Amino acid sequence: MSTDEKKYRGYVGVFDSGVGGISVLREMIRELPNENFYYFGDSANAPYGEKTVEKVQELSMSIVDRMVNEGCKAIVVACNTATSAAVRLIREKYEKTMPVIGIEPALKPAAREEHHGRILVMATPVTLRLEKYHELSGRLAGEAEFIPVSCAGLADRVEKGNLDAADVTQMLEQMIGPYRGQIDGIVLGCTHYPFLKKQIHSVMGDVPLYDGGRGTARELHRQLSRHGLLNKGEEPGRVVLDSSLKTEEEMKIYRQLLDADIE
């Protein structure tokens, strides 16, 4: 592919199993407003959190290979499941030539804020099963008590949009409602879950929520700076949203979530 055909030359490539990584993209735009971002959600294959590790690795490498071939200057794996399953392989292939940033559940900031507290960790089945989560939670075990909750089906429900519908609250009530009044904080261990902050609070009350989006954005800033890759322009960067499920309805959900009020 010639330089002219590299349509995302100089962009930061960001991907997720679907819409979830848009929560991370929002933080990166806030942190780096002059950067160009190409976001790809693999909604046709969502959710990753209920696939085999091998399948997640295959899908992730295919996306990254294409992003690199199209000129992206850095890769952000804005998916907890894909980070757990595939970021090591991505780094082995590309880290010598460009920054590769992954995301991880925000256990560390939660433990620091809720010292010796009881912290609920909402995540996909794959994230909770893999070594990355167990290594991190084991290292912090003396600082807080982590209670993992496998939220099978929740990311898939976020993919469908209409998050104020009653069935979303019903799912959360079944998954985390039994812990109401018994915990000090909640880690949102899937990038889809920050879009449910309002609904989680409606079930659990005013409990602190933690996700890895802001830390990932700061790490991208550090890595771009260290590699001399920061965009020097003063104009707002361009944001391109793309999906493997290229329907008008799907892209409308992407745009709505990019602009959503989820604070």
Q: Which of the 8 DSSP states describes residue 184?
A: S
Beta-carbon contacts of residue 139 (< 8 Å; ≥ 6 apart): none
Q: Are 28 and 14 in contact (CB under 8 A)?
A: yes
Q: Which one of 64, 79, 106, 239 is the catalytic residue?
A: 79
Q: Are 197 and 262 in contact (CB under 8 A)?
A: yes
Q: Which one of 190, 200, 239, 241 is the catalytic residue?
A: 190
Q: Are 216 and 235 in contact (CB under 8 A)?
A: no
Cβ-count burial 40-57 (b if 16+ within 10 Å, e if not): bbbbebbbbbbbeeeebb
Catalytic, 151? Answer: no
Catalytic, 79? Answer: yes
CA distances from 57 to 81, 105, 203 (A): 10, 19, 34
Q: Which of the 8 DSSP states describes residue 48?
A: G
Active site (catalytic) residues: 79, 190
